Amino acid sequence: MIRAEDNELLTQSGPGTPMGDVFRRYWIPALLASELPGPDCPPVRVSLLSERLIAFKDTDGKIGLMDEFCAHRGVSLWFGRNEEGGIRCPYHGWKYDTSGQCVEVPSEPASSGFCAKIKLKSYPCVELGGVIWTYMGPKEHMPPLPEFEWTQLPSSHVYLSKRWQESNYLQAMEGGIDSSHVSFLHSGDISRDPLHKGTDGAKYARSTNTTFDIHESSGGLMIGARRPADPGFHYWRITQWMMPWYTLIPPYKGNALNGHAWVPMDDNNCMAWTMTFHPTRPLTEEEVSLMEKGGGVHADLIPDGSFRPVANMDNDYLMDREAQRQKIYYSGIKGIAIQDASLQESMGPIADRTKENLVSTDNAIIMARMRLKKAAKSLAKGTPPPGLEPESQKVRSASFILPEDGPFKQTAVEATEMKIGEPFVAV
């Protein structure tokens, strides 16, 4: 349980809020690169950290991300014409380049210099690893570009998706670092899903006897969850949490690695990014086809560009009580991603953490909250948050079997070291 004021601090992302200031010090996933497929393509609305923005790619292929609304009378530039090096408001023809600078006001003579006085707020963007990233913080504090493993691999080795989750980022992210719920909520899927079933990890992960061993890393937490394996041995699942909202999920042998980013759209919604990648081989056509249909840790989406899942709160996530009764799907809801989303959204847009009763399996969540809170307070005093340097991002998740008296921390550190092009550790 935490105080109401701490809950507010951790969950608010808008300009000028403590956590909003922290988030703005990182490069942020804003769009899939495929959302802006080419020069002069249609603009895209972007909700990010409680700001309403518009993204477009100009005639020269340069990416712009700026205030959604025209400086004249507040028209949304989503209705604008993307043409000849800028986006033009259809109402009165005011035109802006990718920096947000107004370059033409048809009703005013060019000699007046009026255009030079008009500039929309804009943010720099780069395309990396199939993602368009933006930096929304002070220019003098811009960090190096991200070097997560999935951003460094060939596109054939990576599958990316994102889905709109109707809850605050924090309760979504806390689900990502809570390894104990796998034994209940996902017990049906890890036995049946083609991207999980048939491995020793899927067999051992069903055990509800979970003990945690958690260590701070340079950029977040290394979270070890221990379950019984064969007599005399333990099965360890290592989840990585990296500031401010990234998780890497423990892998299953023979399958790809998976990760998430829980990016606030505003205080009541987040975009749940999912990254599936394999460091040593291309993903197969079968794997990609399954993920496109919502397999693994991805979701089946409504094909309208909203990134809203087909199973959502309006249709009770397609709840199947008979499947629940038979434990085909433990909660009665199909799909790992939607199982998580359904319960996290059921907490309300922002969970009331003052009513919680936490136990030992919640230690990772407690430690992550403390690290986020500390980052906000330190930044207010001038100390940058952790996890900005690429070295802190060069880690993997892992799973392994270890004798009961085996050296967990040493084994975990070695198993989670990122080595581009080399196999990862999984059972």
**Of 82, 109, 141, which one is at a domain's C-terminal end?**
141
Upper half-sphere CA count for residue 103 (Cβ side, 13 Å): 12
**CB within 8 Å of 60: residues ≥ 6 apart:** 39, 85
Query: Is the predicted pLDDT of residue 197 greater than 70, yes or no?
Result: no
**Of 96, 113, 141, which one is at a domain's C-terminal end?**
141
pLDDT, tens only, 52-77 = 999 999 999 999 999 999 999 999 99
First to last CA, the chain: 35
Secondary structure of residue 82 in the 3-state scheme: strand
Side chain identity, residue 146: P
**Statement to judge: residues 275 and 339 lie in one domain:** yes
- Mean pLDDT across the chain, nearest whole number? 95
| Entry pTM | 0.95
Query: For 386-408, what is the mean pLDDT?
Result: 97
**Statement to judge: residues 155 and 291 lie in one domain:** yes
**Statement to judge: residues 305 and 327 lie in one domain:** yes
Query: Is the predicted pLDDT of residue 99 greater than 90, yes or no?
Result: yes
**Statement to judge: residues 185 and 211 lie in one domain:** yes
Model pLDDT, residue 13: 98
CATH (domain of 194): 3.90.380
Q: How far apart are CA 349 and CA 165, in angstroms?
A: 10
List Cβ<8 Å contacts ≥24 apart for 226-230: 226/408, 227/183, 228/204, 229/200, 229/204, 229/401, 230/401
Q: How far apart are CA 64 and CA 77, in angstroms?
A: 12
**Statement to judge: residues 122 and 222 lie in one domain:** no
- How many domains, the chain? 2
**Statement to judge: residues 187 and 66 lie in one domain:** no
**Statement to judge: residues 38 and 173 lie in one domain:** no
**Of 141, 157, 191, which one is at a domain's C-terminal end?**
141
Return the structure tokens found at 203.
């067999």
Model pLDDT, residue 198: 67
Give buried/exposed letters for 136-152 (b at 16+ CB in 10 A, else e). bbeeeeebeebbbbbbb
Query: Is the predicted pLDDT of residue 132 greater than 90, yes or no?
Result: yes
**425 in a domain, yes or no?**
no
**21 in a domain, yes or no?**
no
**2 in a domain, yes or no?**
no
**Statement to judge: residues 254 and 298 lie in one domain:** yes
Share of the chain above pLDDT 90, in %: 91
**Statement to judge: residues 65 and 208 lie in one domain:** no
**309 in a domain, yes or no?**
yes
Q: How far apart are CA 222 and CA 177, in angstroms?
A: 10
**243 in a domain, yes or no?**
yes
Domain of 177?
Answer: 149-415
**Statement to judge: residues 131 and 162 lie in one domain:** no
Kindly report the three-state secondary structure assignment for every residue of 8-73: HHHHCCCCCCHHHHHHCCCEEEEEEHHHCCCCCCCCEEEEECCEEEEEEECCCCCEEEEECECCCC
Q: How far apart are CA 409 and CA 90, in angstroms?
A: 60
Q: In sequence order, what are the beta bridge partners of 222?
A: 215, 240
CATH (domain of 39): 2.102.10.10
**103 in a domain, yes or no?**
yes
CA neighbor of 320 nearest in space, from 309, 310, 330, 308: 330
Query: Is the predicted pLDDT of residue 174 greater than 70, yes or no?
Result: yes
Query: For 307-316, what is the mean pLDDT?
Result: 98
**Statement to judge: residues 187 and 47 lie in one domain:** no
Upper half-sphere CA count for residue 138 (Cβ side, 13 Å): 8
**CB within 8 Å of 307: residues ≥ 6 apart:** 162, 163, 164, 271, 301
Q: How far apart are CA 38 and CA 30, in angstroms?
A: 17
204 vs 131, more confident: 131
**Statement to judge: residues 199 and 126 lie in one domain:** no
**42 in a domain, yes or no?**
yes
Model pLDDT, residue 342: 98
Q: Before 244, cis peptide (omega within 30)?
A: yes
Q: In sequence order, what are the beta bridge partners of 29?
A: 133
**173 in a domain, yes or no?**
yes
Q: Give the Cβ contact number of residue 266 at 10 Å.
A: 18
pLDDT band of 354, cuts 50, 70, 90: very high
